[in-house]
Structures are given as structure tokens and as C-alpha cells.
Amino acid sequence: MPSFDSPSASLSPAAEAGASTRAPGAILVVDDHDLLRLGVCALVQAQAASSGASIEVFEAANAADAIALYETHQASIGLVLLDLALPDTHGLSGLAEFRRRFPAARIVVLSGTGSSTLAQGVLALGAAAFLPKSADLKEVVSFIRACGLLDPASPDAAELPPPAMPKSLAGYAEFAHASAWRELTPRQMQVLQWVLEGKANKEIAQLANLSEGTVKNHVSTILLLFGMRSRAQLISTLH
């Protein structure tokens, strides 16, 4: 059973002629681990070939390259598989920036942390799904197929409705406080992640290169957004 930890075979991405008349059929895989990108791409290519489809796969190892690639090829990219832990991002900053630049992009987030708190933030920011890297790669393939990317294209492909989340992930979308997550700035998301890790304001100030007063203001704003009375209540609720 293929998994994110499995190395894979060679790739043979190819763009089909006439793609402009169909729904976007390419995939952008964003992860700083070469083997993971190779594994995802190889399985996607194999699954596509088995159904007679042809998928072009773009790869990026950091958020900056991913954004540049998507900007150039967004007309053909139907799905972005985005890792959160990239060299040039922190917390949800990469997803937030991608969504700010390309609000119509369909993004599936991959994360080494299977935290429900993290999943809540990811979905609140508009990602189509959250998949921990411990999940079987077949979950990724199932979602890609739901997007209409693994089957031979048809004239009606562009009319496919947005795919539903895999059943195992649907519960995350029902978490409360979704509006609060959407209002957080990238900096506040970073601060919140550190708070949930149990770090004190002084530690956060050092990590973020901010004054303790500024960190205290961020924490106060976060508590207000989530309707919490204390740091302890925030941690208890979001964990």
C-alpha cells in the first residue's frame, strides 16, 4: 500500500494538446523533501495512466517558487498539494499568502502534524482539505480523482462541481471559531501556534523578534477573536 514514506519510480509528465478547452488538469506539488514529491508524482502519474489520462506535474521546494509557478501556469493547474513546513514559511503563512494571491486556487494541505487545531485553521483559510503525511497516499489520489483530474477529460470536465472533502476529514470543517481563524493575520497565526505549544510571551518575543508588549497585544487580540478569557482557556479549547 503506497504511503508518503515510500520512494517511487520515474516520472513522465506530459501536457495533452488542446488542454485549453478542458478543465485545468495539471497538479502542483509543493514540498521541500525530494522523495515525497517523487512519491506523490509517481503515484499520480501511474493512476492517471491506468485510466488513460495524462497529467502534467509541476514541482516546487518552497513557497516562493510555488507562487511563481502557479502565477505562470494557473490556467492549467487544477490542484495544489501544499506542505506547510517549507523553508520560507512558518505555521500557516504559506497557505495564507497563496490564498491571498490566488483566492480561486484549489489547495490540499499536507502536514507532518495531524493536529485538529491545525486542520481547523487550514480549512478556515479556505483549503479544500487537510491531509496529515501519515495518511495513505490513496487518500490524496481519491481527492485528485474527485477533482476530475485522473480520468480522461471530457467536454463537461470544466463543469465538475467542487469536490467534497474525504469523509475522514469532514469533521474538521465543523469546528467552532472558523471566523476567528479567518481574521488572524499571518503574524497572529505564528503567535497562536507558539501559545498552543506552551511558550511564554518572553520566548515568543525572542522567536519572533518582537517586544514583549507587542506579543502581549497579539495574544490579547487572539483571545478577543476566539472569545476566550484566558490563555489557559484558549489552549484547552483549541487543543
Q: How distant, in Å, are the alpha carbons of 66, 180, 219 from that of 224?
A: 34, 9, 9
Over residues 145-165, the mean pLDDT reads 50
Q: Does residue 171 register a pLDDT over 60? A: no
Confidence category of residue 144, pLDDT binned at 50, 70, 90 = confident
Question: Mean pLDDT of all residues in the chain?
Answer: 74
Return the pLDDT at 168. Answer: 37
Return the pLDDT at 20. Answer: 38
Confidence category of residue 84, pLDDT binned at 50, 70, 90 = confident
pLDDT digits (tens, 9 = 90+) for 98-118: 988 898 898 988 887 766 767
Return the pLDDT at 179. Answer: 62
Return the pLDDT at 148. Answer: 67
Q: How distant, in Å, are the alpha carbons of 14, 15, 17, 32, 76 from that of 154?
A: 18, 15, 13, 34, 15
| Long-range contacts of the stretch 194-197 (C-beta < 8 A, 24+) | 195/219, 195/222, 195/231, 195/234, 195/235, 196/117, 196/234, 196/235, 196/238, 196/239
Return the pLDDT at 44. Answer: 80
213 class by beta-carbon count within 10 Å (0-12 exposed, 13-18 middle, 19+ buried): exposed
3-state percent breakdown (helix, strand, coil) of the chain, nearest 5: 50, 10, 40
Q: Does residue 69 register a pLDDT over 90? A: yes
Cell 479556505 belongs to residue? 126
With pLDDT > 90 as the criterion, what percentage of the chain qualifies? 22
Confidence category of residue 175, pLDDT binned at 50, 70, 90 = very low
Confidence category of residue 137, pLDDT binned at 50, 70, 90 = low
Over residues 68-85, the mean pLDDT reads 92
Q: How distant, in Å, are the alpha carbons of 196, 210, 228 from that of 28?
A: 31, 35, 38
Is the pTM higher than 0.75? The answer reads: no
Local structure of 24: helix, strand or coil: coil
More confident residue, 133 or 153: 133
Q: How many CB atoms lie within 10 A of CB 174?
A: 9
Confidence category of residue 136, pLDDT binned at 50, 70, 90 = low
Return the pLDDT at 233. Answer: 85
Q: How many CB atoms lie within 10 A of CB 14?
A: 10
pLDDT digits (tens, 9 = 90+) for 176-220: 456 677 677 878 888 888 888 889 999 999 998 999 999 999 999
